[in-house]
Structure 1
Amino acid sequence: MSDRAADIAALASVIERRRADVEVRLARLDGDDALLRRDRADGTADDEHDPEGSTLSGEWAQIDALRRAAVAERDRLDAARERLAAHTYGACVSCGRPIPIERLQARPEADRCVSCASAAGA
């Protein structure tokens, strides 16, 4: 096995671990969201007049933003998994050149080389 192939095999494990972490994070956020929905439905929570705490609306917006970011991360990791299965992982989707291993180690979900990512504004 070449060094690059070994590095990509190691990155496959990193992608799987990161995806599992995202799923745990999403489950926790879903639980937090359910608690907030319960509090909102309760009607006894004074959402806007508690000087000591944040509003339910603010917490809900924060959970929603964190959830959307986690879903986007999961989607990028799933796309990387698909490239691994198709044996195209590590090749830039724009120019076809190999993505440097250092970039993949920093961003395992990367699908473009630095030049193409810069040109795409990513």
Structure 2
Amino acid sequence: MPTQTKLTAADLRHFEKLLRSQRHELDVALGRIGTTLDDVIEARNSGTADDEHDPEGPTLTMEWSRISGVHSDLAAKSVAIDQALARITDGSFGLCTRRGEPIGRERLEARPAAELCIDCARDLEAQRRG
């Protein structure tokens, strides 16, 4: 395994810019999905849509459930980005929150909001499965 080095100030600026860009994209997506979710909720609550008898598409309940799930996923990603930005501010970005070891630039490039090194992430995933 390659030796990990501390991130430089330039690295931190790079990741902060990347995280802020991802956060902006998530904010836009959350705004769109929020509007769609509001539309489905309004249609469900208005009682004017007969969604249970439409064989061609999903029911409003199914659509609400799907959109709500997507909204929750986007919101969780947004929180993870905010936490990563806070780690940049407090000087702990790039360190595994479990072991305190460097996460590795390659992992951070792939997942800038990562808070665990690849080994800890694999351990956690194995625990969830088993």
The two structures have a TM-score, normalised by structure 1, of 0.91
Q: 1:1-122 to 2 correspondence within 5 Å? A: 4-5=7-8, 6-121=10-125
Q: Which residue type is aligned with residue 85 of structure 1? A: T
RMSD: 1.8
Large movers: runs of 4+ above 3 Å: none
Q: Residue 64 of structure 1: CA displacement? A: 0.5
Q: Which residue type is aligned with residue 24 of structure 1? A: V
Q: Which residue type is aligned with residue 11 of structure 1? A: F
Q: Residue 56 of structure 1: CA displacement? A: 0.4
Output one character per residue of 1:67-106: Cα deviation in whole Å (capped at 9) or x when no partner: 1101110111111011000011001111111111000000
Q: Residue 3 of structure 1: CA displacement? A: 9.1
Q: Within 1, Cα distance between the matches of 2:77 and 2:52?
A: 32
Worse-superposed segment, 31-40 or 98-107: 31-40
Q: Percent identity?
A: 36
Paired residues in the alignment total 121
Q: Which residue type is aligned with residue 15 of structure 1? A: L
Q: Within 1, Cα distance between the matches of 2:27 and 2:60?
A: 24
Q: Within 2, Cα distance between the matches of 1:84 and 1:3?
A: 13
Q: Which residue type is aligned with residue 107 of structure 1? A: R
Q: Residue 7 of structure 1: CA displacement? A: 2.5
Q: Within 2, Cα distance between the matches of 1:33 and 1:63?
A: 6
Q: Residue 18 of structure 1: CA displacement? A: 0.6
- Contact persistence 2:7–2:94 (CA under 8 A): no
Unmatched segments (≥5 aa) in structure 1? none
Q: Within 2, Cα distance between the matches of 1:41 and 1:95?
A: 49
